[in-house]
Amino acid sequence: MTSKQPDPARPRVGRPAELDAERIVATAITLADRDGLRAASLTKVAAALDVTPMSLYRHIGSKDGLTDLMADTAFGPPPIIGPAWRPALREWATGQRAVFARHPWLTQIPITGPPRGLNALAWMNAGLAALRDTGLDWGAKIGAITVVGGYVRQSFVTDRHMAERRGTEQRSEAQSLDAYQREVSTLDLSQYPEIAALFAYRAFADVPPDEESADGDFTFGLDLVLDGVAAAIAGRG
């Protein structure tokens, strides 16, 4: 009689991984990256971890607590930026945009107050450090990074919504703009001479590929915002 050998194809039953806040947050981020913020509910996170929802509360406190930890972890530390305020603040802004691109669900979390998590505080500190030698007072510095951060967030949300609409319609940006111009051109534009002139100029012709267009729009808008910061700095001088 021969002894039965273990089947290497069968998973071994071992001690389950210890449940802790880091594992819970990592699982929630994975679910949110795949299916959006709603997919990271306590019930779904618990199911993914094969535990009860109540067992999560000992580590994360509440649903809001989980969301806060997810956001802070997903943002990670800020980029290392140089001393010149404008390129530093530009790097700070493009770094946030890259985070949103990796974790789009972050924009679904409402802003309810100033930063609290360690990574969030690090981003705030980096933004303030970029403006250290500008002569702006603390209120102006906070206002500047709030405006820049708000622009990054809203620009990403707008681009994403438009891209989702184009995906639904199975159109490129160039095709969508062409359809828009043809649709609006059928209207009586006599009361809107600037729009008529815009269409006559064919401003929407020769649109670059979607990604290049989004990058160009973002850069143009960011430059306008940074021009405003520059004007504030010059005014303080």
How does DSSP assign 10-25, residue by residue? SPP--PPPPP-HHHHH
Arithmetic mean of pLDDT, 29-54: 96
pLDDT at 7 over 80: no
Arithmetic mean of pLDDT, 185-190: 87
| 16-29: pLDDT as tens digits | 568 999 999 999 99
User: Is pTM, for the whole model, over 0.75?
Assistant: yes
Average pLDDT, the chain: 88
How far is 16 from 130, CA to CA, in rounded Å? 46
pLDDT at 15 over 50: no
Q: Which long-range contacts (CB under 8 A, 24 or more apart) does 172-177 make?
A: 172/209, 172/210, 173/207, 173/209, 173/210, 173/213, 174/204, 174/207, 177/204, 177/207
Weakest-pLDDT range from 8-22, 23-37, 61-75, 110-124: 8-22
Q: Which two tokens stand for residue 96?
A: 């946030």
How far is 28 from 38, CA to CA, in rounded Å? 10
Question: What is the pLDDT at residue 60?
Answer: 92
- The distance between the two most distant Cα atoms of the chain, rounded to a whole number of Å, is 97
Q: How confident is the model at residue 207 (pLDDT cuts 50, 70, 90)?
A: low
**Which single residue is written with the structure tokens 């691109």?**
101
Question: What is the pLDDT at residue 177?
Answer: 80
